Amino acid sequence: MNAWLIAMMAIIRREALRFVHQRSRFLAALVRPLVWLVVFAAGFRAALGLSIIPPYETYITYEVYIVPGLCGMIQLFNGMQSSLSLVYDQEMGSMRLLLTSPLPRWWLLLSKLLAGVAVSVLQVYTFLAVAAGFGIVLPAWGYVCLLPALVLSGLMLGALGLLISSTIRQLENFAGVMNFVIFPMFFLSTALYPLWKMEESSALLRDICALNPFTHAVELIRFALYQSLSGWALLWVVLAFAVFFGLALLGYDPAHGMTRRRKGG
């Protein structure tokens, strides 16, 4: 077990060092949700006619409502960025070298996921601190309850990115696939508007939003910020993680996935 922990810490340390040396990645992850919060929130609020949101227990402003969605956005983009590094490692051969170690493949990939989650949690809390400077202050204990929700949602979104990376052969193909995944998942969710508002436009779109795993990741974060738990969202996030991670393991299996396709190509 000691060797397992050493390997996990080494992978997390490597990801942390990569993140530290890629300052533009941190700034992009911070600026993107801040632009949505400060600039676009006013436009969306006016367009949707939502000055206040009647969510679960109390009335909150639209800016406060979208904060959980923007936290999810940070984790979604970070999951895709971590996957991009995996595709790069595949091309350079370091990923294949890592997967040939004597440790179980699932443990190595899980360690990679946890490394990405640690980075995304740091980014989210930094964003929340900056948002507090703009007057978007949430319940104090909510910041504490938020941590396990961020870990679970980060694992689920990271596993999705891991799954995508197992299907990509070349680095230049990843950007198109990433955008094809990120934007539909983000806009067809409750990150920017509640389901009942989407239903006013289309029942079909409302159903798509309800089935979107990112919707449930956002709701898990939203409830946690108010020291509550959505059992349905928790179930969806855990199930989605299990499915995505299981398929990713199959994709990185030399007998079925990445290695076999590369040899065939």
Encode pLDDT of 133-145 as tens digits. 878 888 889 899 9
- Per residue in 220-261, pLDDT (tens digit) is 999 999 888 889 999 999 999 999 999 988 887 766 554 444
Residue 217 has pLDDT above 90, yes or no: yes
pLDDT for 79 equals 85
Strands, DSSP E only, in the chain? 52-53, 60-61
| Cα–Cα dist 8/36, whole Å | 35
| Cα–Cα dist 246/178, whole Å | 20
Could you give the 3-state DSSP secondary structure of residue 37?
A: helix
| Cα–Cα dist 83/253, whole Å | 17
Pairing of strands 60-61, 52-53: antiparallel
Q: Which of 142, 141, 137, 78 is nearest to 112 (CA)?
A: 78
State the DSSP string of 71-85. Answer: HHHHHHHHHHHHHHH
pLDDT for 155 equals 94
pLDDT for 263 equals 46
Residue 165 has pLDDT above 60, yes or no: yes
**Integer angstrom CA distances of residue 170 from 96, 175, 181:** 15, 10, 17
pLDDT for 57 equals 45
Tokens standing for 210? 């309800």
| Cα–Cα dist 230/167, whole Å | 32
Residue with more model confidence, 101 or 208: 208
